[in-house]
Amino acid sequence: MVTVDARGLSCPQPVMLAKQAIDKGEFPIEVLVDTVTSRENVRRLAQRLGLKVQAEPSGDGFKVTLDK
Amino acid sequence: MSERLTRFFASRWGIILAGAAIGLLAPLLQKAGNPPNMGICVACFERDIAGALGLHRAAAVQYIRPEIIAFVLGSLIAALLFKEFKPRAGSAPIVRFFLGMFAMIGALAFLGCPWRALLRLAGGDLNAILGLAGLVTGIAVGVMFLKAGYNLGRAQKTHTAVGWVMPLFMVSLLVLLILRPQFTKDGAIFFSKTGPGSLHALILISLAVGLVIGFLAQRTRFCTMGSIRDVILMGDTHLISGVGALLVVAFLANLVLGQFKLGFSPQPVAHSSHLWNFLGMSLAGLAFALAGGCPGRQLFLAGEGDGDAGVFVIGMIVGAGFSHNFALAGTPDSVVDGVLKVGGLTTYGQWAVIIGLVLCLLIGFTMRSKKAGEV
């Protein structure tokens, strides 16, 4: 499990960090974000790349899990 | 239900709805009394607010614009209803202040924010093409910095009250608008008697439109800068479909309302000094990209508790003060005795745009890290 901590970062950092992790090719990837905006942006990126996405509340924000 | 609505607003149809709403409501606001090709302009309207407060004394552009107030409050309402109000702050606020200041100086060199650039084009003002080309160029430079690791660091969760500062500031502006106090003889609050500042729709209409747009934009994250950035950065066309909808709907609305007039000059509240239209918006686009949002988006973020976006907004308002006090803003083209007089920038204005560009480049080069997200 690769963890990307994108909490507190504003657009487009969370998506860029997620993309970097995806490009490395190690799955599953867990992206931590703290706004719904970031959650939806990461979700959209993953869907565009044909990945499986699951989002759940975690702490003050969300955990978005990406897998092949 | 709430989750389904959230997913709809996050979808492509959601963002198209938001763009189309702005594209329809802005020309209607113009019909209802707002200035020509300026049904909505975030930069111009913040500049008018700066003038009303006496931060500059350009008599033609002074009015407390209810749209700006309502954008923040509409976003606040949406954020509260959908439990997205998240007070946060602390991502290099001082840098964001100066980015806001110079973004405003660039936007006022062109005479409009990205929204108005689109609305000007939709009204037939071809100078907007130079502005939009500048905007894309500035954002493209910003994307290069982003790819090289530029970031302003993490924001932190903070006290609830911090998130309420900007909404309460907007409520205070609304009180000043309604009570119209005059603090000293011949002093603030100023309201233009002639010029663009004197042209406005009824307060209630402006407020209602602003609330609807604020609500929709908060839900859909509508952002003109982000739309161009996402296409350049990762080929993502989500946000730009909203911007496209704005342009198309505003064009059609202007045709129907008889507000379309094709050409370069003279166009209302616009100049045809092409180089400075281009460079002014390049500066604005770069500053928006470095700050992570266009002027509208910064208002909506401020409404959902983002203190750093609030600082950017205050930077823009202060920037408008400097812009007019130092004669940096563009002068519109005018027709004097039947002869076209091309407006544009003073030498001071030209230097301000260049200094702004240099400053933004310095910020882009110096504020990056090898490991993204770390400082």
Are B91 and A10 within 8 A, CB to CB? yes
Count CA within 13 A, CB hemisphere, residue B300: 27
Q: Which residues in B lie closer than 8 A to residue A36 (C-beta atoms)?
A: 6, 82, 84
Q: What is the pLDDT of residue B135?
A: 98
**Does the pLDDT value for residue A24 go beyond 70?**
yes
Are B221 and A5 within 8 A, CB to CB? no
Q: What is the pLDDT of residue A11?
A: 86
Bond preceding residue B189 cis, omega within 30 of 0:
yes
Are B146 and A16 within 8 A, CB to CB? yes
CA dist., res. B317 & res. B100, Å (int): 8
**Residue A48: Cβ within 10 Å count:** 13
What letter represents residue B88's amino acid?
R
Residue of B nearest to A48 (CA): B236
Please tell me what DSSP assigns to residue B188: S
Are A8 and B91 within 8 A, CB to CB? yes
Structure tokens at B80: 């509260």
CA dist., res. B313 & res. B326, Å (int): 20
Contact with chain B for residue A54, Cβ under 8 A: no
Residue of A nearest to B239 (CA): A41
Q: How are the residues of chain A apportioned to helix, strand and coil, as percentages rounded to the nearest 5?
A: 35, 35, 30
Instruction: For domain A2-67, give the fold.
Output: Translation Initiation Factor IF3 (3.30.110)
Q: What is the pLDDT of residue B2?
A: 83
* Stated pTM of the model: 0.97
**Residue B274: Cβ within 10 Å count:** 18
CA dist., res. A37 & res. B239, Å (int): 12
Q: What is the pLDDT of residue B375?
A: 57
Are B6 and A6 within 8 A, CB to CB? no
Option in B152, B157, B373 nearest A60 (CB): B157
Please tell me what DSSP assigns to residue B368: B
Residue of A nearest to B293 (CA): A11
What is the overall mean pLDDT for chain A?
A: 94
Q: Which residues in B lie closer than 8 A to residue A13 (C-beta atoms)?
A: 151, 372-373
Are B155 and A10 within 8 A, CB to CB? yes
Q: List Cβ neighbours of A26 (8 Å cut-off, separation of 6 or more).
A: A2
Are B313 and B320 spatial neighbours (Cβ–Cβ below 8 Å)? no
Q: What residues of chain B score a pLDDT lower than 70?
A: 371-375
**Residue A26: Cβ within 10 Å count:** 9
What letter represents residue B23's amino acid?
G
Q: What is the pLDDT of residue A51?
A: 96
Distance set, CA A36 to CA A57, B38, B220 (Å) = 10, 32, 11
CA dist., res. B277 & res. B285, Å (int): 12
Q: Which residues in B lie closer than 8 A to residue A58 (C-beta atoms)?
A: none
CA dist., res. B288 & res. B226, Å (int): 9
Residue of A nearest to B294 (CA): A11
Contact with chain B for residue A12, Cβ under 8 A: yes
Are A7 and B292 within 8 A, CB to CB? no
Please tell me what DSSP assigns to residue B144: H
Q: Which residues in A lie closer than 8 A to residue B236 (C-beta atoms)?
A: 44-45, 48
Q: Which of B 191-250 lie inside 8 A of A, CB atoms?
A: 221, 223, 226, 229-230, 233-234, 236, 238
Option in B6, B233, B238 nearest A44 (CB): B238
Are B251 and B262 spatial neighbours (Cβ–Cβ below 8 Å)? no
